[in-house]
Amino acid sequence: MPPYAFFHKQFMPLSEAKIGVLTHALHYGTACFEGIRGNWDSERKRLCLFRVQDHYKRMLDGARLLRMNLPYSVDELCQLTVELVERSGYQENVYIRPLVYKSSESIGVRLHDLEDDFVVIVTTLPPYLAAEEGVRCCTSSWRRINDTMVPRGKICGAYVNGALAKSDACEGGFDEAILLTHDGHVAEGSGENIFLVSNGNLITPSSLSDILIGITRDTVIKLAKNELGLETIERQVYRSELYLAEECFFTGTATNIAPVVEIDHRPVNTGEVGKITSELQKLFAPVILGRNPKYPDWCTLVSPEPVKA
């Protein structure tokens, strides 16, 4: 069974979903996207699509920022996604990529007088940060975009910012970059939010630090409070705090919870995965498989169609 896409208001094989070279979004980044995880439960033979509604709510907010309109509600987008996953028949972890974009084949810098379109695909994706023993980071010379570039939406053109930082970090021998704000406070990774533990407190940069308000970030904040009795302090974070932290970790849809063990050639504490990070990872794993009955609204369970011989 080939992978499918929902494109031009119909389901079709992914190989047939094409756009023209003059498409406005290709030239100017006039699009916004989401990344949604489908986690395969091999015991129960089902996929758990995690916080689909929240992802689509955020995507529609991003579309509003770019003056784009979609003829679908959040519930309709969720149902389209479920059907797409069922048709594609994957029986492994999947990554779902919805994209709303300026589809007119037109040259010219603007947002008005252009058509909008929507596509969603389902595919597989290797771990964004694959270092099992922990992630080694550097602080990037590139600064995090501020509100003049709409950091609160997953705007395609704005992701050049993270791409520059990520490639510099990897080519310098690190796994990931940490971007600072223009005034030198900690913002986030190239595609993840960041947390640290200091004096037993869980701390993360606030929305004032030009971050994307991550859905996995929100999940971790709620799990820490509900399951560990640990409140998260959201505030500006100084770079030097990273070097003195007891623990540090990234969160993101493509990352889940990834421990950070080194920053700028300095070990984070002992250089090993910290206790709170480990506890959160253990709590997170069953939640994203739909196995924790406390959080039913976070999970959309899908039984894919069996692959035909």
How far, in Å, are 54, 205, 261, 302 from residue 238 at the CA level?
Answer: 30, 9, 18, 43
How far, in Å, are 64, 97, 209 from residue 11 at the CA level?
Answer: 25, 15, 40
Q: Are strands 46-50 and 31-33 parallel, antiparallel or unpaired?
A: unpaired
Any catalytic annotation for residue 275?
no
Q: Using the 8-state DSSP alphabet, how is residue 56 labeled?
A: H
- CB contact set of 149 (below 8 Å; sequence gap of 6+): 155, 158, 161
Q: Which of 18, 154, 225, 294 is catalytic?
A: 154
> Identity (one letter) of the amino acid at 56?
Y
> Identity (one letter) of the amino acid at 211?
I
- CB contact set of 287 (below 8 Å; sequence gap of 6+): 219, 223, 295, 298, 299
Ramachandran category for residue 85: left, alpha or beta (phi over 0 → left; psi -120 to 50 → alpha): alpha
Q: Could you identify the residue written with the tokens 């600072």?
A: 180
Q: Which sequence positions are flagged as catalytic?
A: 154
